[in-house]
Every structure is written in C-alpha cells, then in structure tokens.
Amino acid sequence: MELIPATEFSLEELAEAYNETRIDYIIPMPMTVERLRDYISVYDVELSCSCAAVRGDEILGIGMLGVRQGRGWITRLGVLPSGRRQGVGSHLMAFLLDAARQRGLPVVWLEVIEGNNPAHELFNGLNFRETRELIVARRPPNFRALAPGELAARPRVRNVRTLDHEATLRLLENRRDEPNWLNQNESLQKVADLSSLVIETVDGGQGWVTFKTSLLRLTRIVVDVLAGDPAAVTTAALQTLHEFFPTQDAIAENIPAKAAIWPGFQDAGYFDAFRRIEMVRPMPPLERDEQDFG
C-alpha cells in the first residue's frame, strides 16, 4: 500500500473513489466532479496535503485536509470496502496529521457521524477529543409548525430587511456564534449568491438568517440572534424565511445541539436528520531541525 498525494489524481478519480467509500455508509453523500470542485474551493481543501491509499492500480481510501489560518480540518476520509480492516484508515490519518504538522497548524478539527463507531474509535485512539454534537436539520416544504391558535402566541415580525450577497458578508463579520468549519465565514464568503433576512419582532427581538436558494432547496442556513429570546427570535426569522420560500426543502448543517437557537429551529418545523460529533486534536510543534531541514 502506498500513500499518494491527491494532486496525482484527477477530480474524476477522486470523486469516483469517494463514492465507492460511501457505498454502504450510514448517510449516503454522493459526490459529482462539479460538487467536489466546489467543495475543495469553499472549504479550503489543499490537495497537496490530501492523499489516496493505493495498492497496485486500486484506490483503497482517500482523505482530505482543509487548511486555514491556525487550524486544519480533516474531511472526506473514507475507505473502500476492499480496503477495510487493513489499517488503511490509520495510514490515511497519519498522512493527514503529518501534513498538518508540516504546515505548522496548531490544531486539527474533524467530524464523525454519530453511530460510525469504527471511525469514532480510530479518532479517539489518535487523541482527538470530543467538543460538541452538531445537528444536521431538515424541514419539508409547506410545513405548518403549529395550530393557528398557537401561532398567534409567537413573536410577530414588525420589520424585515432583505440583504444581497455583499451586505450579507458584511453582516457575517459581526456574528457572535462559534461556527463549525462548514459555516465559518471563510466558507460562506466563497458561496455564490448568499442572501439574508434581518428581522425585528414586536416584542423587541432582533436577529438574522442567511440562506442560499435553488429551485428545490434552501441551504447555507445560519441564524444569529442579537436581542430577545434566542429560540423565539430564531423561530420568527425562520418562519419569515419560509414565507418567502414556501415550496423549498430546507437543510441547516451543523447546528450545535446545545445551542439556545435549536428549539427555535424545531418550532419552525425542522427535525433532527442526523448528528455529527465534532472532535479536535492539538498538534505538537515541529522540532527546530525539522523546520530547518524538512
């Protein structure tokens, strides 16, 4: 088995290998070449720090590393069925962690889907520690959250402003949450046609929600509450969003499970599709001779 930098493969080869790693996965996540290209760009994946495990002409597994100021992110780690129980995952992780160390990154993040016990055990064995549970939530189109009488008890929106892409990016500069890699500003800045709604409620609540629209779906949903009850303002912001876009399915990724805004998502009709466990590993610094001589 060899570990070969991902730069030696085409995006077609990497996408095909990734899809093979997920053929029997807990949560299928099919990848096209175009989606992989966007993924690499949006999440700052460095292919020179990513790799594939190869035996002969067969790719056994892949792993990728995102690199940002002061931190790295391991993603798209997967092993094909033909490469499992052979230490492929451990070898891929060793390559990625060494790449992070060589780049001088002080910390590395990753997420593992709740219930993926083999991967979870692997990361625990490599001294990753759990930080929080993250919810991937969905809301079907035309959802009615509560009966009419209950709806009247919610905060009503008295003012709504819509912001375009550039104004939304300026809004995000002052956010107060602690986003996961997928929702960090560095990610959202690279998303085309991002929009937002800023709301005020009759009882003094203030907040905003970002989103990206397509014909069938709303994505890139991020909520921040500036004043008022976090759950109530979240519900009001999301209800307003879905009044604008009643026929779209909606997905909100990596909401912290203990966040005060999560009950507001639930009241607006979102359900817990699955969860990821965020994990972090501090990286030891390079020794001086390694820095000088590689």
pLDDT, tens digit (0-9, with 9 covering 90-100), for 149-162: 554 444 589 999 99
User: Which residues lie below 8 Å from residue 275, measured CB to CB, with a gap of 6+?
Assistant: 113, 114, 133, 134, 135, 136, 257
- Give residue 231's region: left, alpha or beta (phi > 0; psi -120 to 50): alpha
In a domain, 261, yes or no: yes
Q: What's the N-to-C CA distance of the chain in angstroms?
A: 24
Q: Please name the residue that has the structure tokens 């490599």.
A: 126
| DSSP classification of residue 182 | G
Confidence label for 29 from pLDDT (cuts 50, 70 and 90): confident
Whether 119 has a pLDDT exceeding 70, the answer reads: yes
Alpha-carbon distance of 207 to 218, in angstroms, equals 18
199 and 259, same domain (yes or no): yes
**pLDDT given for residue 294 in this prediction:** 43
pLDDT at 146: 52
Number of structural domains, the chain? 2
Judged by DSSP in three states, 194 sits in: coil
Averaged over 171-197, what is the pLDDT?
95
In a domain, 13, yes or no: yes
| pLDDT confidence tier of residue 82, bands split at 50, 70 and 90 | confident
- The confidence score (pLDDT) of residue 142 equals 74
Looking at residue 279, what is its pLDDT? 98
Residue range(s) defining the domain that contains residue 170: 136-275
CATH number at residue 182: 3.40.630
Share of the chain above pLDDT 90, in %: 81
Indicate whether 140 and 269 sit together in one domain: yes
Task: Give the ranges where the chain is alpha helix by DSSP (H).
Answer: 11-21, 33-42, 88-102, 117-125, 148-151, 165-172, 185-188, 230-244, 262-267, 288-293
- Residues 100, 141 within the same domain: no
For residue 201, what pLDDT is reported?
94
On whether residue 291 sits in a domain, the answer given is: no
Pairing of strands 71-79, 107-113: parallel
| Cα dihedral value 53, 57, 60, 65, nearest 10 | 40
Residue 75 lies in a domain: yes
Region 108-119: mean pLDDT is 95
Evaluate if residue 92 carries a pLDDT over 70: yes
Pairwise pLDDT comparison (27 vs 114), residue with the higher score: 114
For tokens 């931190």, the residue is: 71
The answer to whether the CB of 270 falls within 8 A of the CB of 139 is yes
- Are 163 and 82 found together in one domain? no
Identify which has the larger pLDDT, 150 or 264: 264
End-of-domain residue from the set 105, 127, 144 = 105
Compute the average pLDDT of residues 196-207.
Answer: 95
Same domain? 142 vs 270: yes
**In this structure, are 43 and 158 located in the same domain?**
no
Reported pTM: 0.89
